[in-house]
Structures are given as C-alpha cells and as structure tokens.
Amino acid sequence: MRRLRTALLAVPAAIALTLALPGSAWAATGSASNYMWAGHASATWTWSGPGSLTNIDLHVEDDNCNSNPVYAQLRVTRSNGGVWYTSTHRYDYNGCSGSGTNHNDLTLSDGYNIKYIALYVCNDGTFNDCIVGPNSSANPLA
C-alpha cells in the first residue's frame, strides 16, 4: 500500500514537471482553401508567433481551359481588424491539366498580430476575376 501511495503522489509531480519544461512548445497549425469557377487553392502552415507563419505550403490549380492562369495570394486579417494582401501572386501555369502547382516552404510575417488568413484566388485574364475564401481558424498565438 505504501508503494502505491508513493507512486500516486509521484504522478502529479511528473506531470507538472513535464508541463513546465522549456522546449515542449505546442505547435499550432492552420489551413485555408478557396474554390472558384476557374480554379482553386489550398494552404497549410504553422502559426509560429502572434504575427508570423512558417512552413506555408500553398497549392494552386487551374480548373478551367480558358488560356488564363490562376493565381493565389494570402489575405491577412490583423487582430485590430486591418486587412492586407501579400504582394506576390503564386501561379499555376499548367492550364487545366489537373496537376496544379505547389509553392512550398513559404513564410509570412507582420509587425502586428495576425488573427486570420484567407486565400484570394484569381483567374488572370483581361478582367481579373477574383474571389476571397473564408477565414482560417483564429491564430491561437495572437
């Protein structure tokens, strides 16, 4: 009985020690997707801080055979309500082949807390036809 009591008392102490150890940081991940008539995009990433994302893997795919490539950008919504778009257009030039284009290991940072990410997808033609997808889940680190 004494061993059992000693073992039971040691378990909470071990759990508390494990929770307090540095380097056992919790990695938060996020994702977003957007579909439009001409194509779609999807992305996954790691929330690496209140104002940064790392390991962004973006997939862009042209679903329409109209000779215009499809591109995607990230729309950033700050925790204060401000919104901005990444300046780089990430394209799929493969037409309607169905394979799409992967843009991997991208990063994004902002001097303010990032609350949400959404994908902005466009059909790059004479008149850019664009649509913004739904927001990702909220950044748990912001």
> What is the pLDDT, as a whole number, of residue 42?
98
Read off the pLDDT of each residue in 70-97 and give the average, rounded to a whole number: 95
Q: Per-residue pLDDT tens for 94-134?
A: 888 878 999 999 999 999 999 999 999 999 886 779 999 99
CA 124/CA 121 separation, integer angstroms: 9
> What is the pLDDT, as a whole number, of residue 135?
97
Q: What is the pTM of this model?
A: 0.80
In-domain check, residue 46: yes
In-domain check, residue 90: yes
In-domain check, residue 114: yes
In-domain check, residue 107: yes
Give the N- to C-terminal CA distance of the chain in Å, as an integer.
Answer: 48
> What is the pLDDT, as a whole number, of residue 98?
75
In-domain check, residue 52: yes
> What is the pLDDT, as a whole number, of residue 95?
85
> What is the pLDDT, as a whole number, of residue 97?
81
Read off the pLDDT of each residue in 57-85 and give the average, rounded to a whole number: 95
- Report the 3 state secondary structure along the chain: CHHHHHHHHHHHHHHHHHHHCCCCCCCEEEEEEEECCCEEEEEEEEEEECCEEEEEEEEEEECCCCCCCEEEEEEEEECCCCEEECCCCEEECCCCCCCCEEEEEEEEECCCCEEEEEEEEEECCCCCEEEECCCCCCCCCC
Q: Per-residue pLDDT tens for 3-50?
A: 544 444 444 433 333 333 344 356 799 999 999 999 999 999 999 999
Domain containing residue 40: CATH number? 2.60.40
The amino acid at residue 139 is: N
Angle at 104 between CA 98 and CA 125, to 5 degrees: 50
CA 70/CA 61 separation, integer angstroms: 7
In-domain check, residue 2: no
Q: Are 138 and 113 in contact (CB under 8 A)?
A: no
CA 46/CA 38 separation, integer angstroms: 28
In-domain check, residue 55: yes
In-domain check, residue 138: no
Number of domains in the chain: 1
Cα of 20 vs its chain's centroid, Å: 28
What domain range includes position 75? 25-132
